[in-house]
Amino acid sequence: MEVISRIIGEDHGKAVGLFNMQNVRHGTVVELFNYGATIVVLAMPNGKKVAAMPIHLRDNISLSYPVLESFRINPFYLGSTIGRFANRISNAQFTLDGATYQLEKNDGANTNHGGFSGFHNKVFDYKIMGDSCVKFTYESADGEGGFPGKLRLSVTYTLTETNILNIEYKALSDKKTVFNPTNHTYFNLSGNEESVFNHQLEVFADEYLETDEAFLPTGKILPVADIPFDFRKFEHGFNTYFISNSKEHLKHLATLSEPVTGRRLEVHSTMPGIQIYTGDHLSQPFFPCAGIAMEAQGYPDAPNHAHFPSCVIEAGKEATFCIQYRFFNPCIG
């Protein structure tokens, strides 16, 4: 394996590079760029080959745009690194050690995915770390988006020989602050333009967060058995945070599978739960439910709910988080 890179444009005077990694044994291809430390393409072989050549044809199993300019708009956060705080913060504010911080309102009266100043539209510095590893770094200024502390973030993508895409986040702030990263890839394992309605989903959770009409947690933690829909069917769609029932450090949060191709994706993470969003509000150039986002993250609106697990990181103490996408493709092995 090796990382192949090329410059594809620039943004605010900084070069935007595209980075290609391929697992030779399994044929999985990952393309990234440093605009938003984004997953641009996740491609897997479909069992077909180019005539008279040992080249596998591949399907892109993630939603993507064809050009960089579309990622600059990207209202759906396709493939992006999310921060400083994934999901919503109610009333675009929180209080920490007696000080109230006002954030950017980009979701009605609330903040979503870090506001207008979120990581999804920042150009990260980058370094190729080896044959299958790229590290993106960004320094967020004190007060950016309203969040306290100068925060240094690294996002390291590693494609392993066992067909795992490992994402490691490291954050270091000079002030006490809140932090909750995730990746926002939308998956469609069929690799075509069908909806995800034929996919099957397992979420390893006994509880979930009740939310109001603005998708903000009410504070109630409810049993999964009360949810009025079946994970194996997406007719109703959902945008829900599920709490892991695992005590392991690296938790198996969810498994997504597609019966026609037999492809399977497992999401493992150090995060306490996962936001499952069936893409109900996707629109052009996509369509509703064209992909499903499986966002391992901390509890939404955690700074405003004292009984939720804390998302606070201490000044000068590096915090580390991990998300793993484990791919299984029967046509290759």
Tell me which residues are annotated as active site: 184, 295
Count Cβ atoms below 10 Å from residue 142 Cβ, excluding itself.
13
Q: What angle do CA 234, 308, 304 make, to 5 degrees?
A: 100
Q: Which residues contact residue 188 at a Cβ distance below 8 angstroms, ignoring those fewer than 6 apart?
A: 61, 62, 63, 194, 196, 199, 290, 291, 292
